Amino acid sequence: MAKLTVRLDDPIATISPMLYGHFAEHLGRCIYEGLWVGDDSPIPNTRGIRNDTVAALRKLAAPVIRWPGGCFADDYHWRDGVGPRHQRPRRMNLWWHDEEPNHFGTHEFIDLCRQAGAEPYICLNVGSGSPEEAAGWVEYCNYAGDTSRARERAAHGHPEPFGVRYWGVGNENWGCGGRFAPDDYAREYRRFACYLRGRGRAIELIACGHTGPDWNRTFLDTLGDLNTIDHLSVHRYIKCGDAVDFSDTEHYNLYPRALQVEADIVEAATALALYNRTGRHIGVIVDEWGVWHPEARGDSGLYQRNTLRDALVAAAVFDVFNRHADKVTMANIAQTINVLQCLCQTQGEAMWLTPTYHAFDLYKPHMGNAAVRLDLDDVPTVEARGADGRAVALPVVSASASVDEAGKTAVVTLQNLHLAEPCPCTIRLRGGSIAKATARILTASDARDHNGPDAPAKVKPKRFKLDARATTLRAALPPHALVSAKVSLR
Ligand code: AHR
């Protein structure tokens, strides 16, 4: 019997809703078809933006959308995407072997964010761009005065500034974003930040970090003055076995690779603690994360089927984010629609939700709550291997918990990742007693199950019965199942 003790009286930090964010790149069918269909499309849309996918994002209270890339960002010139749509240039999409019609640009992105109820986060072009181009984009979006750029925005239909708060200073600048060495990126970052910040703007800048200590530490050391940074980003992609035809061993081995994100966060936060003498909190943003299966590697649109296994792994990653709510300021899954570990998939007019969408939905009640510490005891383990080949005793239960500001409702999310064995659990609440508990479960007859145009709701959450008494919940978790419990406290 696995034992969880939820320490309601031992808070970690507020779980920023931004930890449940999204990333949408001009790649495959994410923007074009997934989000943008054009206002002359037979697919129901609002000013060209697809209604069904946006409604799905709105239902999740999607907090933020990062755009336009990804690798695409460092070859994107924002002027190509403003002004009358039919006059916009058609360009090569360098990284994703495609052509870019520029029908979806800054105004369409802001419209998408407003329709979805999300904050816009724009990634600037450092690799092939200039500080002048980047600062000009910030001015175009955010300036309220009477400059040519502000007038141009007004002429394009938006007299009011967009107020974009989050700006990424390049993407993967150690790779597709210019192949910089970390010290060269630091010099470049300082130059960009000088012109981005120099206009007295209420914006937050995200510097490009990396996994492992070398890049982050050399970058921060060379940068010197960390007053120019608000967040440092890391990316984590998780790979092991086929999207659907994975073996049981590959299922278990996916977890140590996913949990690597914890080391990424801790390493980035440690590097920041070493070099940050500003007295300000500089957060870690997991700007891109998710499973990346071989199926996507064989497709230039990075399309892959998404199974229940992917949703379970996403939940284990959410548990890491919740546990590190004091360090992580944002996290964005790659990528929202039709690409990699997406939340929605489309085929022409058809749209269906992936199991990962439902994992987001089950974790939604944590947003804005205080994460609290929990102890896991007597949890059975299975043998797994990390990417380095080392054996790991993987606990079959992953969990996280939070409590709302008023201290009236606790949220406990937990999964049994074992493919065959159920896991009976007791969940003891320390520092509160239970008035009422309700729960939902996401599971299926096989962890390989997924949704598609012919079976759009094969994997979806259902109500789940918990036994609630005084301070203890009891649940028999079925194999490969994720449960989200809402507990009203006395
Ligand atoms: O998400 C796909 C790609 O993965 C992004 O463009 C890039 O940033 C990362 O390498």
The kind and range of the H/E element at 273 are: helix 248-275
Please count the other Cβ atoms lying within 10 Å of the Cβ belonging to residue 145: 9
**223 has pLDDT over 90:** yes
Please tell me the residue having the least CA distance from ligand 1 atom 8: 70
Q: How far is ligand 1, taken at its centre, from the CA of residue 238, in Å?
A: 12
- Please write the tens of the pLDDT for every residue from 44-69: 999 999 999 999 999 999 999 999 99
The kind and range of the H/E element at 287 are: strand 283-291
Please tell me the residue having the least CA distance from ligand 1 atom 7: 70
Confidence band for 353, pLDDT divided at 50, 70 and 90: very high
Name residue 244's amino acid: V
Q: Nearest to residue 310, comparing CAs of 331, 284, 289?
A: 289
- Please write the tens of the pLDDT for every residue from 306-352: 999 999 999 999 999 999 999 999 999 999 999 999 999 999 999 99
Q: Nearest to residue 81, comparing CAs of 58, 40, 111, 57?
A: 111
Q: How many angstroms separate the CA atoms of 143 and 163, rounded?
A: 8
Overall average pLDDT of the 415-443 stretch: 97
Instruction: Report residue 335 as tokens.
Output: 């990528």
pLDDT value, residue 296? 86
Residues sharing a CB contact under 8 Å with residue 40, sequence separation 6 or more, in sequence order: none
Buried b / exposed e across 450-460, counting CB within 10 Å, b at 16+?
Answer: bbeeeeeeebe
Confidence band for 300, pLDDT divided at 50, 70 and 90: confident
**CB-based burial label for 467 (10 Å; 0-12, 13-18, 19+):** exposed
Q: Nearest to residue 310, comparing CAs of 348, 347, 257?
A: 257
Q: Are 364 and 63 in contact (CB under 8 A)?
A: no
- β-partners of residue 427 are 4, 473
Please count the other Cβ atoms lying within 10 Å of the Cβ belonging to residue 24: 28
Is the Cβ atom of 133 under 6 angstroms away from ligand 1? no
Please tell me the residue having the least CA distance from ligand 1 atom 9: 70
Q: Report the length, in residues, of the chain.
A: 490
Q: Nearest to residue 261, comparing CAs of 311, 297, 314, 208?
A: 314
pLDDT value, residue 202? 85
Q: Measuring CA to CA, how many Å separate 340 from each of 33, 345, 396, 489?
A: 15, 10, 25, 39
Is the Cβ atom of 288 under 6 angstroms away from ligand 1? yes
Report how far Cα 353 is from the mean position of its chain's Cα atoms.
16
pTM of the complete model: 0.97
Please count the other Cβ atoms lying within 10 Å of the Cβ belonging to residue 91: 16
Instruction: Report residue 91 as tokens.
Output: 């360009």
**What percent of the chain has pLDDT above 70?**
99
Is the Cβ atom of 173 under 6 angstroms away from ligand 1? no
Q: How many angstroms separate the CA atoms of 194 and 299, rounded?
A: 40
pLDDT value, residue 197? 84
CA angle 178/96/344 to nearest 5° reads: 115
Q: How many angstroms separate the CA atoms of 100 and 93, rounded?
A: 6
Is the Cβ atom of 172 under 6 angstroms away from ligand 1? yes
Please tell me the residue having the least CA distance from ligand 1 atom 4: 70
CA dihedral 66, 68, 70, 73 (to 10 degrees): -130
Is the Cβ atom of 177 under 6 angstroms away from ligand 1? no
- Please write the tens of the pLDDT for every residue from 167-194: 999 999 999 999 999 999 999 999 999 9
**420 has pLDDT over 80:** yes
3-class SS of residue 124? coil
Choice among 63-77, 252-266, 284-298, 347-361 with the minimum mean pLDDT: 284-298
Q: How far is ligand 1, taken at its centre, from the CA of residue 71, in Å?
A: 6
- Please write the tens of the pLDDT for every residue from 226-273: 999 999 999 999 999 999 999 999 999 999 999 999 999 999 999 999
- Please write the tens of the pLDDT for every residue from 372-387: 999 999 999 999 999 9
pLDDT value, residue 285? 98
- Please write the tens of the pLDDT for every residue from 446-463: 999 999 999 999 999 999
Mean pLDDT, the chain, rounded, equals: 96
Respond yes or no on whether the N-terminal peptide bond of residue 87 is cis (omega within 30° of 0).
Answer: no
Is the Cβ atom of 208 under 6 angstroms away from ligand 1? no
Q: How far is ligand 1, taken at its centre, from the CA of residue 178, in Å?
A: 14
As annotated, the active-site residues are 172, 288
- Please write the tens of the pLDDT for every residue from 8-52: 999 999 999 999 999 999 999 999 999 999 999 999 999 999 999
Q: How many angstroms separate the CA atoms of 489 and 434, rounded?
A: 5
Is the Cβ atom of 271 under 6 angstroms away from ligand 1? no
Q: How many angstroms separate the CA atoms of 142 and 22, rounded?
A: 22
Question: Which atom of ligand 1 is found nearest the CA of 334?
Answer: 1
Q: How many angstroms separate the CA atoms of 271 and 277, rounded?
A: 12
Confidence band for 464, pLDDT divided at 50, 70 and 90: very high
Query: What is the secondary structure of 165-209 as a DSSP string?
Result: -EEES-SSTTTTTT---HHHHHHHHHHHHHHHHTTT---EEEEE-
Q: Nearest to residue 488, comparing CAs of 383, 404, 416?
A: 404
pLDDT value, residue 178? 98
Question: Judging by DSSP bridges, how do beta strands 166-168 and 119-123 pair with one another?
Answer: parallel
Question: Which atom of ligand 1 is found nearest the CA of 339?
Answer: 1
Q: Measuring CA to CA, how many Å separate 59 from each of 44, 45, 115, 400, 441?
A: 18, 17, 11, 22, 18
